[in-house]
Structure 1
Amino acid sequence: MARKFLVGGNWKMNGSNQLVSQLVKALNEGSWSSNVECVIAPPAPYLASVRSGVREAVGVAAQNVWVDPKGAFTGETSTEMLKDLKIDWVIIGHSERRSIYGESDELVGKKVAAALKAGLKVIACCGESESERDANKTTEVVFRQIKAIADQLSAKDWANIVIAYEPVWAIGTGKVATPQQAQEVHKEIRDWLAKNVASEVAEATRILYGGSVSAKSSPDLQKEKDIDGFLVGGASLKDKEFLEILNSRQ
């Protein structure tokens, strides 16, 4: 089964009206292969303007969502709000949400389930810290994180999930896992899905690599069999470089 390559751009807490206009203009005027899907994730205050401004072929994701559809949850964003704004994707479980805001594996799983129930598509993040990698706990950590998601879902739910493997030690540090390191973990994830969910799910689920992806590193990373795209951080704020990454798929 051919898995369509996906390049996501996570803007994190960066942006202004000027930057939004610049990046949206670049995506509207840029071009990339029809075999590559593009999804961008601006901060919540800019979701509406990005969705109304960028061409329909570009998916727009929220960077977070809450588990309840509405209620007294000050500062949170609901699935109903995202659907009302015609937002079709959400990133859940990013390492910054886990480490800074204390989101547990269980909460991440519940968020994924709530988003899917609302009809959103999910980029679900997983990844180990540098100390965990040094202790040879990479797969232990990643499998634990994915299991907490799988425990909330049925096999059919996976049709709307993309996994993003983001080694924490490579996020915003300039360090990038070698193509071989990334491929090794991606294959382990796919094997886990085959064993614990379903072989069909393992074959169909796209697994992205994230962690200081750049125009320089993306051409070699995209050659690996089990790397189905990228979740790009800082480079997604540079219009020319992000377009280069979108066009790195061969």
Structure 2
Amino acid sequence: MRTPLIAGNWKMNGSADLVEAFGRAFAEAELPDGLEVAIFPPFPYLEAARRAFAETPIGLGAQTLNPLHSGAHTGEVSGRMLCEFGVRYALVGHSERRQLYRESDEQVYDRLLAALGVDLIPVLCVGETLEERDAGRTMEVVLRQVGFVMSRLEPQQRSRVVIAYEPVWAIGTGRTATPQQAQEVMAAIRDYQASFDAELASAMRLLYGGSMNAGNAGELLSQPDIDGGLVGGASLKVDDFLAICQSAG
């Protein structure tokens, strides 16, 4: 049975007060058995989050990382540095990194390898734009993004990867893929993994990202191939994020 994961990506949002509020709320929260929870705050809040989340089930994640361990790369953060702050997960290939910062499939792959190299759990983000969906290219785009990375990994490396399907047209827009649309893509990703290893495909965790909220989380998470969520805006509201976590039971 796959362990569900609810992850909150704060993007360039949040505050020290919000970190403390999450720590207090989740220290007392009753969550479904076996659920993993992760928060991906901006880098400056990692140390505060490590302290605030110490007595909670929340794991720490990083929103990106540099492929190199060190060097003359002003403004960048390496995986080794993240590990010193207790980080367990790292996002790679988020659509905003791909679009705003022009990260290519090759750069996404390099970041994922860097995460694996320091024993972080990479969350590989994939998804299509509205234009690509309207052109009927959803599966082509998503499976190309998945395949570029997964086809280059060894079996042991693949087993550590979490994949988050986030239709770009549904991120921060209030629009959400229907549970059936999301399930169709998730099933295709899992079928693709089965071409490498059926056992791996069955065990790999697939998250849905794209305006998941307290109102729609239950139906999305009830789909057979959706094992959790990568939550954006709703992860900045303690009560909403907690409700999504409780929907995963």
Q: TM-score range by the shorter chain?
A: over 0.9
Q: What are the within-5 Å matches in structure 2 for residues 16-165 of structure 1?
A: 16-54=15-53, 55=55, 57-165=57-165
> How many percent of aligned residue pairs carry the same amino acid?
47
Deviation by residue 1:61-102 (Cα, 9 ceiling, x = unmatched): 000000000111111110110111111111111000000000
Letter in 2 for 1:35: G
User: Where does residue 175 of structure 1 map in the other structure?
Assistant: 175
2:232 corresponds to? 233
TM-score of the pair, normalised by structure 1:
0.97
CA distance in 2, matches of 1:159, 1:27: 29
Contact persistence 1:110–1:152 (CA under 8 A): no
* Shift in Å, 1:151: 3.6
What code does the residue aligned with 2:98 have? R
Partner of 2:10: 11
Unaligned runs of 5+ in 1: none
2:214 aligned residue: 215
Deviates more, 1:84-93 or 1:28-37: 28-37
Is the CA contact 2:128–2:167 (under 8 Å) kept in the aligned structure 1? yes
SS at match of 2:106: helix
Aligned residue pairs, count: 248
Q: CA 1:144–1:192 in structure 2 vs 1: closer, same or farther (change >3 Å)?
A: same
Secondary structure in structure 2 of the residue aligned to 1:72: coil
Equivalent residue number for residue 205 of structure 1: 204
For the 8 Å contact 1:110–1:149, the answer to whether it is kept is no
Q: Are 1:123 and 1:161, in contact at CA under 8 Å, matched by a contact in 2?
A: yes
What displacement does 1:152 show? 3.4
Query: Which whole-Å CA distance do the structure 1 matches of 2:51 and 2:153 have between them?
Result: 32
Q: How far 1:159 sits from its partner (Å)?
A: 2.3
Q: Secondary structure at the match of 1:82?
A: helix
Instruction: Select between 224-233 and 44-53 the one with higher mean Cα deviation.
Output: 44-53
Shift of 1:158: 2.0
Relative to the length of structure 2, the TM-score reads 0.97
Distance in 2 (CA, whole Å) between partners of 1:12 and 1:28 is 23
Q: 1:152 & 1:12 partners in 2: Cα distance? A: 28
What CA deviation, in whole Å up to 9, does each residue of 1:135-184 have, x standing for no partner?
11111111111112114311111222110000000000000100000000
C-alpha separation between the residues in 1 aligned to 2:127 and 2:121?
20
Report SS of the residue matched to 1:247. Answer: helix
| CA root-mean-square deviation | 1.0
Q: Does the residue aligned with 1:215 lie in a helix, a strand or coil?
A: coil
Query: Is the contact made by 1:12 and 1:63 (CA closer than 8 Å) also made in structure 2?
Result: yes
**Secondary structure of 2:81's aligned partner:** helix
Structure 1 residue 56 displacement after superposition: 5.4
Aligned AA (1:237) = L
Structure 2 unpaired stretches of 5+? none
1:24 offset after TM fit, Å?
Answer: 2.0
Q: In 2, Cα distance between the equivalents of 1:29 and 1:246? A: 14
